[in-house]
Structure 1
């Protein structure tokens, strides 16, 4: 499985993504493609998306924890790895 969340994809990339993925919300793509195809898609995204695209990739892998998180460009929310588990840091808003 591959999940792609982007701030802003180039129109040509977004159109191509619709071949392999469903788009439940704008710039959110989900697909159950095989690992070999997912690797090809990830390589395509790295080649065709500028850092301003703000892409977050969540890809299933065969070993623990079962997924990996990658980004293109600086993410809005930083990630941290604890005991081999990659997590997205959420800040609490007081109020």
Structure 2
């Protein structure tokens, strides 16, 4: 399975991925392709999308932790790598303090 979030996709790439993906929400694409085709699709996206595309790709794999995250360009979320485990950063301590100045963060 592949889940793709994009800020923008070139028309040629959008047309090509429509072969394998469903677009449940604008610029959110979901596909249930087999593992053998999955890496080819990810390679196609990383090769043909520009940095302004701002893509995050979640790909399921057969080895723990059973997913891999790829990014290209400027995205709204940051990916953190902790001991080989890729995680999506929702809030940093500085952002949490700015959003709720009265709360204590330990």
TM-score of the aligned structures, taking structure 2 as reference length: 0.82
Rounded to whole Å, the distance in 2 between the matches of 1:9 and 1:41 is 14
Rounded to whole Å, the distance in 1 between the matches of 2:8 and 2:51 is 10
Q: Which has the higher contact order (CA 8 A, sep 6+)?
A: 1
Aligned pairs, number: 95
Structure 1 partner of 2:26: 26
* 2:100 pairs with 1:94: yes
Which structure's CA Rg is the greater one? 2
Deviation at 1:81, TM superposition (A): 1.8
Structure 2 partner of 1:76: 76
CA RMSD of aligned residues (A): 1.4
Which ranges in structure 1 are unaligned for 5 or more consecutive residues? Answer: none
Which ranges in structure 2 are unaligned for 5 or more consecutive residues? Answer: 102-106
Matches within 5 A, 1:1-95: 1-91=1-91, 92=96, 93-94=99-100
Rounded to whole Å, the distance in 2 between the matches of 1:5 and 1:38 is 16
Contact 1:14 1:27 in 2 (8 A): no
Rounded to whole Å, the distance in 1 between the matches of 2:8 and 2:70 is 16
